């Protein structure tokens, strides 16, 4: 089947998209959908993404003003390319880098490519919902005290689930030691646009901030932004040097044939924000608040920080992004896979992601009253039909410590052995293992595989969560280092 046929077929079905991309196929917001007629390259007057002097420069300057950054670059290879370029720009081979363990796998690829030594910060786990909490500033402080040679730090905020870290305090701690901070804000490009959302890392002191505008704003898949801020680098000379380093890094990781369709779409999105953000975000917040109020009626499904739940119940969260709808299914007689299937087959709602203990619906300014209502009606019916009185125990949480036996690169170059999950305890992994989404590694190459890693992996597989690995031999086999 041709991809285009599949896409056309899918688009004709009555399925409501509570998932990315943020434009929700709502054509009220999508100017210029006749994409092919716009598919141009560098011709007279069209400027050049890698040496912007004309319309692209102008557009990126407008974005910098809208997002309040020192400089903004358009990305057409997603946040993935922004993360690779940011880590590459700010590190030197062999550097120690402070990394939140719940970073996306792109960060791990950057660490591998740049030959860095990770020092991990393990976010705590919220026992009720099974989601990661914020990175505590005290943990950052303790890490830089213990490892004074850390040169760079990177963390994700908000997380896929909407948990925000205290970027202002964390950047202050790091900047006192001259360490720049990269924030993966892939899930938070909407943050700066209404006071009901936590503040963006751009205004909280981060140095480079990467945002997937395709995830939560009206912009197509693959479009993203890289913002440079004046956190650590205050004087002009330093800013210009960093500007050059980031530009060179982007030239390394980003396509030399950037799609004008995508760049035009980013430009549309930025203009839409410039022209209509107040009204659009006002309506959006109204919908979120109404939905949150409706969910107070649910007896079994808990919605994180909405309805009968509250931010105050989660001391491990510094803050929470209310755009995320995280539905705990621990009090249902359905596992998350069954919940997802029911949502799709019975209510024609496609969710963004399921994890072992919850499901996630992603919202944006393009959602409609009808969409939110459809989601609430489905939840109310499922809550009534499938409730159970005693909550299922939480799935084994992500690991809180790891033993790094060799670098990722060294593990890649070692001879390979393929073993079953029952045989891999104590072996050194040769591959990255992750649930997708969210693409956060469960096991990293070079690490010793422990019984708790295996327990979590098995629990996820049992619950129907998609677990992937480099060699694609899971769930049967995992690839480890062979010393033979």
User: Which of 125, 379 has the CB closer to ligand PLP?
Assistant: 125
User: Which of 258, 307 has the CB closer to ligand PLP?
Assistant: 258
User: Which of 134, 212 has the CB closer to ligand PLP?
Assistant: 212
Q: How far is the CB of 416 from ligand PLP (least distance, A)?
A: 27
Q: How far is the CB of 159 from ligand PLP (least distance, A)?
A: 7
Residue nearest to ligand PLP (CB): 78
| Residue 453 CB burial class (10 angstroms; 0-12, 13-18, ≥19) | buried
Q: How far is the CB of 236 from ligand PLP (least distance, A)?
A: 31
Q: How far is the CB of 222 from ligand PLP (least distance, A)?
A: 7
Binding site residues, ligand PLP, CB under 6 A: 78-80, 104, 106, 156, 160, 184, 186-187, 212, 224, 437-439
Residues 6+ apart with CB under 8 A from 391: 330, 331
User: Which of 129, 253 has the CB closer to ligand PLP?
Assistant: 253
Residues 448, 402 contacting (CB under 8 angstroms): yes
User: Which of 224, 301 has the CB closer to ligand PLP?
Assistant: 224
Token match 């939840």: residue?
Answer: 379
What is the sign of the dihedral through the CA atoms of 97, 203, 157 and 114? negative
Q: How far is the CB of 31 from ligand PLP (least distance, A)?
A: 22
User: Which of 161, 309 has the CB closer to ligand PLP?
Assistant: 161
User: Which of 118, 307 has the CB closer to ligand PLP?
Assistant: 118
Q: How far is the CB of 79 from ligand PLP (least distance, A)?
A: 3
Q: How far is the CB of 99 from ligand PLP (least distance, A)?
A: 13
């Amino acid at each position: 089947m041709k991809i285009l046929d599949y896409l056309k077929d899918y688009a004709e079905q009555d399925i409501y998209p509570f998932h990315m991309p943020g434009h929700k196929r709502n054509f009220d917001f999508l100017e210029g959908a006749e994409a092919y007629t716009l598919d141009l390259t560098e011709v007279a007057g069209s400027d050049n993404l890698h040496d912007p002097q004309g319309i692209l420069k102008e557009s990126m300057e407008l974005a910098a003003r809208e997002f309040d950054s020192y400089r903004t670059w358009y990305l057409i290879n997603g946040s993935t390319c922004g993360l690779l370029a940011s880590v590459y720009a700010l590190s030197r081979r062999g550097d120690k880098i402070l990394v939140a363990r719940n970073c996306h796998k792109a960060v791990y690829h950057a660490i591998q490519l740049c030959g860095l030594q990770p020092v991990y910060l393990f976010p705590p786990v919220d026992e009720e919902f099974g989601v990661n909490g914020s990175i505590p500033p005290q943990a950052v402080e303790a890490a830089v005290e213990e490892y004074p040679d850390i040169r760079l730090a990177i963390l994700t905020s908000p997380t896929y689930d909407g948990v925000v870290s205290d970027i202002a305090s964390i950047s202050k701690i790091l900047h006192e030691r001259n360490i720049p901070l990269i924030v993966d804000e892939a899930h938070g490009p909407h943050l700066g646009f209404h006071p009901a959302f936590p503040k963006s890392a751009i205004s909280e002191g981060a140095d480079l901030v990467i945002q997937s505008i395709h995830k939560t704003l009206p912009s197509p898949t693959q479009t993203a932004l890289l913002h440079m801020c004046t956190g650590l680098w205050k004087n002009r000379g330093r800013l210009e040097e960093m500007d050059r380093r980031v530009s060179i890094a982007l030239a390394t990781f980003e396509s030399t044939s950037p799609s004008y369709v995508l760049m035009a779409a980013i430009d549309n999105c930025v203009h839409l924000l410039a022209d209509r953000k107040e009204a659009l975000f006002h309506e959006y917040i109204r919908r979120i608040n109404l939905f949150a109020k409706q969910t107070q009626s649910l007896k079994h499904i808990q919605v994180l920080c909405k309805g009968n739940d509250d931010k105050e119940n989660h001391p491990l969260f510094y803050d929470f992004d209310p755009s995320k709808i995280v539905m705990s299914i621990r009090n249902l007689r359905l596992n998350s896979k069954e919940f997802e299937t029911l949502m799709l087959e019975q209510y024609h709602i496609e969710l963004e992601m399921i994890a072992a203990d919850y499901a996630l619906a992603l919202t944006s300014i393009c959602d409609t009253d009808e969409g939110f209502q459809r989601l609430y009606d489905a939840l109310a019916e499922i809550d009534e039909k499938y409730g159970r009185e005693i909550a299922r125990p939480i799935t084994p949480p992500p690991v809180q410590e790891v033993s790094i036996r060799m670098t990722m690169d060294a593990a890649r170059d070692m001879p390979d052995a393929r073993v079953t999950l029952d045989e891999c305890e104590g072996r050194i992994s040769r591959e990255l293992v992750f649930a997708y989404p969210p693409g956060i590694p469960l096991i990293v190459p070079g690490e010793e595989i422990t019984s708790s890693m295996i327990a979590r992996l098995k629990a996820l597989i049992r619950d129907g969560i998609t677990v992937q690995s480099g060699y694609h031999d899971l769930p049967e086999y995992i690839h480890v280092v062979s010393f033979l």
